[in-house]
């Protein structure tokens, strides 16, 4: 199939958006492999976005890269299309913050000028009192009037300053709240409320930023077994609800220091630190058991959507050369779990060359 046809095949929304007609995750992975695209989370995110068909310019930009596009070219397209909202919101916040800080500095300068004027009045009054001999009532009345007016003016100026500073401070707090909320939304998978691909990709890369990260880092990848059958039998809304329940089980089973992310479709990932290979395997096994033992029953009508199970693969950071290699090897371990009968945890270190074929990346997720 010609390259443009390859991309067109990927972007056919009538098929891509219908779970009963096609498994989106499988088609995206298959297309990426045929185009020679590395199996990185950020690449999955890019191709998933294009696969929805809601951004034809993105699809066209990918097509323009030709077959076997470089990672640099893919990252450039991703930055152009997927980071534009981030850029706009950050720029708006930066402009607001800059404007409010300029206003605050102006208020402080005016207050300083006002206090200096008040100080001059005090100084002049003090000089007048020290130089004058006899104090007449008329003179003292004038002194009191000048001091009262100056003090009243200074108090009013300070009151206005406090009010203005409070207003500007509240505006800056609102901008901060908006940025924090946007970051939360930008980092969260909308269906499961877990961390999304972006956060996962960054966390995976950070493992290799330090020797400690490499020494104690690990990755667990999981994929819900026979998920397509759930969609086919009960429909997409039920499938979404199953993913939400699975996400909740994973998050409640593992400790808070473990990053839990939904990396696409029915795929989940755990990024761990400070644990050895045995401890990492036990974390994955606890997740597997918790999902296997959980009831997936609609309490309203009694329909049982189970059994629901998950296959997992683990890999230690020390067993990989970098983030992409770590993901690659954990995915191979996951594939080995699928190939061995599903509903199990496999360590990458336990695999031999014969445990997966060279086409392991395009195994059919079910």
- CATH number, residue 345: 3.30.70.270
Judge if 180 and 206 occupy the same domain. no
Query: With 70 as the cut, is the pLDDT of residue 6 above it?
Result: no
Calculate what percentage of the chain has a pLDDT beyond 70.
81
**CA dist., res. 244 & res. 240, Å (int):** 6
pLDDT for 90 equals 64
pLDDT for 176 equals 76
- Choose the final residue of a domain: 165, 186, 207: 186
Give, to the nearest 10 degrees, the angle between helix 71-82 and helix 56-64: 160
Query: With 90 as the cut, is the pLDDT of residue 85 above it?
Result: no
- Choose the final residue of a domain: 55, 82, 109: 82
- Single out the residue of 235, 349, 255, 253 nearest to residue 303, CA to CA: 235
Q: Is residue 298 part of a domain?
A: yes
- H/E stretch holding 83 reads none
Judge if 218 and 329 occupy the same domain. yes
Of residues 80 and 257, the one with the higher pLDDT is 257
- Choose the final residue of a domain: 51, 67, 82: 82
The predicted model gives 224-247 an average pLDDT of 92
Most confident range, picked from 112-121, 181-190, 300-309, 352-361: 300-309
**CA dist., res. 254 & res. 289, Å (int):** 12
Judge if 12 and 45 occupy the same domain. yes
Query: With 50 as the cut, is the pLDDT of residue 293 above it?
Result: yes
The predicted model gives 219-246 an average pLDDT of 93
Listed in sequence order, the residues at least 6 apart from 253 whose beta carbon sits closer than 8 Å to its beta carbon are: 286, 287, 290
Is 266 a catalytic site residue?
Answer: yes
pLDDT for 251 equals 96
Torsions phi, psi of 340, nearest 5? -90, 0
Q: Is residue 280 part of a domain?
A: yes
Q: How many C-beta neighbours within 10 Å does residue 335 have?
A: 25
Most confident range, picked from 164-178, 185-199, 250-264: 250-264
> Which residue out of 45, 116, 266, 292 is catalytically annotated?
266
Judge if 150 and 231 occupy the same domain. no
At residue 134 the predicted structure's pLDDT band, cuts being 50, 70 and 90, is low
pLDDT for 168 equals 80
- Give 269's strand partners: 221, 261
The predicted model gives 203-210 an average pLDDT of 91
Tokens of 334: 């996951």
Q: Is residue 274 part of a domain?
A: yes
pLDDT for 87 equals 56
Q: What is the pTM of this model?
A: 0.59
Judge if 114 and 238 occupy the same domain. no
Query: With 70 as the cut, is the pLDDT of residue 2 above it?
Result: no
**CA dist., res. 316 & res. 218, Å (int):** 4
pLDDT tens for each residue of 298-355:
888 888 988 999 999 999 999 999 999 999 999 999 999 999 999 999 999 999 865 5
**CA dist., res. 240 & res. 86, Å (int):** 27
Judge if 274 and 203 occupy the same domain. yes
The CATH number assigned to the domain holding 128 equals 1.10.287
Per DSSP, the three-state class of 50 is helix
Q: Is residue 92 part of a domain?
A: yes
Structural domain boundaries, residue 337: 197-362
Query: With 90 as the cut, is the pLDDT of residue 357 above it?
Result: no
pLDDT for 52 equals 61
**CA dist., res. 360 & res. 120, Å (int):** 83
Judge if 78 and 89 occupy the same domain. no
The answer for 97, left when phi > 0, alpha when psi is -120 to 50, beta otherwise, is alpha
Tokens of 96: 């607001």
The predicted model gives 191-213 an average pLDDT of 89
pLDDT for 171 equals 79
Alpha helices (H) along the chain = 3-10, 13-16, 24-34, 41-51, 56-64, 71-82, 84-131, 137-186, 197-207, 211-216, 227-234, 236-253, 277-293, 323-339
Judge if 173 and 46 occupy the same domain. no
- DSSP class of residue 17? T
Per DSSP, the three-state class of 217 is strand
Tokens of 340: 């061995």
Tokens of 117: 């004027």
**Residue entry with tokens 């097509």:** 63
Q: Is residue 192 part of a domain?
A: no
Q: Total domain count for the chain? A: 3
At residue 358 the predicted structure's pLDDT band, cuts being 50, 70 and 90, is very low
**Burial bucket for residue 333 (CB in 10 Å: 0-12, 13-18, 19+):** buried
Give the chain's mean pLDDT.
81
Judge if 178 and 266 occupy the same domain. no
């Amino acid at each position: 199939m010609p390259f443009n046809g390859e991309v067109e095949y990927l972007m056919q929304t009538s098929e891509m958006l219908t779970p009963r007609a096609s498994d989106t995750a499988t088609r995206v992975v298959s297309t990426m492999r045929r185009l020679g695209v590395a199996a990185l989370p950020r690449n999955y995110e890019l191709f998933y976005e294009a696969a929805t068909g809601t951004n034809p310019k993105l699809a066209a930009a990918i097509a323009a890269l030709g077959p076997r596009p470089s990672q640099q070219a893919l990252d450039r397209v991703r930055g152009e299309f997927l980071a534009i909202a981030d850029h706009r919101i950050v720029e708006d916040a930066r402009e607001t913050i800059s404007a409010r800080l300029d206003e605050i500095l102006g208020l402080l300068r005016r207050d300083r000028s006002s206090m200096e004027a008040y100080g001059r009045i005090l100084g002049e009054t003090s000089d007048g009192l020290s130089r004058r001999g006899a104090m007449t009532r008329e003179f003292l009345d004038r002194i009191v009037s000048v001091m009262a007016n100056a003090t009243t003016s200074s108090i009013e100026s300070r009151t206005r300053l406090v009010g203005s500073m409070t207003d500007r401070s509240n505006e800056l707090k609102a901008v901060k709240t908006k940025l924090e909320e946007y970051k939360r939304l930008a980092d969260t998978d909308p269906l499961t409320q877990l961390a999304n691909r972006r956060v996962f990709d960054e966390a995976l890369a950070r493992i290799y930023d330090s020797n400690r990260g490499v020494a104690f880092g690990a990755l667990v990848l999981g994929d819900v077994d026979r998920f397509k059958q759930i969609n086919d039998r009960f429909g997409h809304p039920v499938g979404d609800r199953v993913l939400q329940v699975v996400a909740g089980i994973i998050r409640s089973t593992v400790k808070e220091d473990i990053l839990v992310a939904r990396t696409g479709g029915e795929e989940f990932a755990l990024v761990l630190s400070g644990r050895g290979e045995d401890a990492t395997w036990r974390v994955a096994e606890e997740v597997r058991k918790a999902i296997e033992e959980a009831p997936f029953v609609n309490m309203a009508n009694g329909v049982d959507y189970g059994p629901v199970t998950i296959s997992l693969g683990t890999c230690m950071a020390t067993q990989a050369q970098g983030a992409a290699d770590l993901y690659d090897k954990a995915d191979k371990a996951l594939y080995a779990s699928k190939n061995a009968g599903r509903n199990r945890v496999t360590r990458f270190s336990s695999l031999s060359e014969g445990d997966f074929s060279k086409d392991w990346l395009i195994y059919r997720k079910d």
